[in-house]
Amino acid sequence: MIFRKAKFSDVEDILKLINDYAEQGLMLARARNTLYEGLREFILAVEDGQIVGIAALHLVWDELGEIRALAIHSSKVKTGVGTKIVEILTEEARELGVKTLFALTYQPGFFAKLDFEEVPKENVPHKMWKECINCPKFPNCDEIAMVKKL
């Protein structure tokens, strides 16, 4: 398995993986144009030429970063692929000077195993919510906020 940055040719596969989970209510859907705009943020896990895992590191504000759009192909869940992707993105965040890393998730147990702590959404910086206004679930977000100090 290799881990690499995303390319334009990966967008349709990324979109399918994310939106398959979104249809099940397990993560938020993403629009194709959003993926193109944030393509440089994505790390992919690729095995035998197939994308089996994805996530992005989004820089939000001064020393604040978000792990977003984490999705693992169903055949690779609980194999360590997601953990490895988050570790790669965490190291990238450290190199960029991120001091606080967060995730909004429906899978808090996964992030807790990686030393993220659940926090009340009211306690997180307001800059974290700048994109939430465009979410179909706003203002009734049911995701769980997880934070890790780097």
| pLDDT the model gives residue 27 | 85
Look up residue 69 and give its two tokens: 């759009």
| pLDDT the model gives residue 137 | 56
| pLDDT the model gives residue 141 | 62
| pLDDT the model gives residue 126 | 57
| pLDDT the model gives residue 144 | 87
| pLDDT the model gives residue 62 | 87
| pLDDT the model gives residue 140 | 58
| pLDDT the model gives residue 139 | 52
Rounded CA gap, 78 and 80, in Å? 6
| pLDDT the model gives residue 129 | 56
User: DSSP label at 77?
Assistant: T
| pLDDT the model gives residue 28 | 82
- Structural domains in the chain, sorted by start: 2-149 (3.40.630.30)
Considering only CA atoms, which of 58, 27, 19, 16 is closest in space to residue 141?
A: 27
| pLDDT the model gives residue 125 | 58
| pLDDT the model gives residue 150 | 96
Per-residue pLDDT of the chain (150 residues; tens, 9 = 90+): 999 999 999 999 999 999 999 899 888 888 999 999 999 999 999 999 999 999 999 998 889 999 999 999 999 999 999 999 999 999 999 999 999 999 989 899 999 999 999 998 776 655 455 555 555 555 556 788 899 999
Maximum Cα–Cα distance for the chain, whole Å? Answer: 43
Considering only CA atoms, which of 54, 28, 56 is closest in space to residue 40?
A: 56
Rounded CA gap, 66 and 90, in Å? 10
